[in-house]
């Protein structure tokens, strides 16, 4: 089975998606050539009456425990830094990125995932109350201990990522080699507020793309690539932030390309992301087998050069 450049987003597993459905989706994802499973220690605290996360990691851990030998076929990606701790309002009460918080978060994630290591460990959001040196060293210790294979930064401003990478390099420590940000074929107006945007620095920009091209050791993962269903579902309209001429022009070309290929607009978007320059790894959250099959086919789709050029040419 050929591997596909797609990460299965497990945010809703154990909360919006029940355990049995999650198990079925995970099984089908692996059978369909998927290997990357993305979660976080804080998923999904906003759905829990007590405001606690960890649901997604627990489900994945139970799934792995019931399938001996499967761990070597999957690459687990999880995050730390945004889990609520104690009282107060989020995000003020998040665990942050101190050395002790990172150590505790990693240990707790391993326990819930029922594994001795994770393949990619992300800092979920920046923490300016902690020196970058402290965070960088704590992350390096995870790699050096074998607990973590690689390090990534999600929703961080690029200048902070670059500074952290420089600190790691200067000290001979392993540093960030992946970025996780929001990206899709459509973009909102500059400075417009998107209702579910979540993080101020959570967007792929032209500077980010240029940075990844110039630094081949840095991978780029894209979340919310399908805009929560807005490309294909009438009941999920785009927010007002996307109301500009560029959206209309891009949707028109996207629709034409999808029709010519006999696929959905979602599948064209995933193919455009996964096969572009630089190539991105789309993260897709699903709640049904039909959605997963569509995503797997989209990530495996190779866009002809002429069609990709048409998509790229629309400002």
Total count of residues recorded for the chain = 315
Active-site hit among 43, 185, 223, 242: 43
| Residue 43: active-site member | yes
Angstrom distance (rounded) from CA 312 to CA 295 = 21
**E-assigned strands of the chain?**
7-9, 36-38, 75-80, 118-123, 148-154, 176-182, 219-223, 281-285
Angstrom distance (rounded) from CA 54 to CA 58 = 6
Q: Give the β-pairing of 176-182 and 75-80.
A: unpaired
Dihedral of alpha carbons 96, 100, 103, 109, sign: negative
CA-to-CA dists, residue 291 to 25, 210, 268, angstroms: 10, 31, 14
DSSP 282: E
Query: Would you name the residues annotated as active-site residues?
Result: 43
């Amino acid at each position: 089975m050929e591997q596909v450049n797609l990460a299965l987003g497990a945010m809703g597993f154990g909360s919006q998606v029940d355990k049995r459905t999650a198990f079925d989706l995970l099984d089908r994802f692996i059978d369909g050539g998927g290997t990357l499973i993305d979660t976080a220690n804080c998923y999904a605290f906003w759905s829990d009456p007590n405001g606690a996360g960890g649901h997604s990691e627990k489900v994945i851990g139970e799934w792995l425990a019931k399938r001996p030998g499967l761990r070597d076929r999957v690459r687990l990606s999880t995050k730390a830094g945004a889990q609520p701790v104690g009282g107060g309002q989020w995000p003020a009460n998040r665990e942050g990125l101190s050395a002790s918080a990172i150590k505790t978060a990693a240990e707790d994630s391993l326990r819930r995932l029922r594994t001795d290591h994770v393949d990619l460990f992300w800092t979920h959001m920046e923490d300016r109350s902690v020196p970058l040196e402290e965070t960088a060293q704590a992350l390096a210790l995870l790699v050096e201990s074998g607990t973590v294979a690689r390090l990534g930064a999600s929703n961080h401003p690029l200048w902070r990522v670059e500074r952290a990478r420089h600190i790691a390099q200067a000290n001979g420590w392993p540093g960030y080699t992946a970025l996780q940000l929001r990206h899709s074929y459509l973009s909102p107006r500059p400075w417009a507020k998107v209702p579910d945007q979540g993080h101020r620095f959570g967007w792929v920009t032209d500077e980010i793309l240029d940075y990844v091209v110039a630094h081949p050791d840095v991978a780029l993962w894209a979340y919310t690539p399908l805009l929560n269903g807005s490309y294909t579902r009438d009941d999920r309209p785009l927010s007002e932030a996307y109301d500009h001429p560029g959206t209309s022009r891009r949707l028109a070309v996207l629709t034409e390309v999808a029709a010519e290929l006999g696929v959905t607009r979602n599948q064209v978007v995933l193919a455009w992301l996964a096969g572009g320059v630089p190539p991105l790894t789309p993260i897709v959250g699903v709640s049904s087998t039909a959605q997963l099959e569509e995503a797997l086919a989209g990530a495996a789709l190779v866009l002809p050069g002429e069609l990709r050029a048409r998509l790229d040419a629309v400002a």
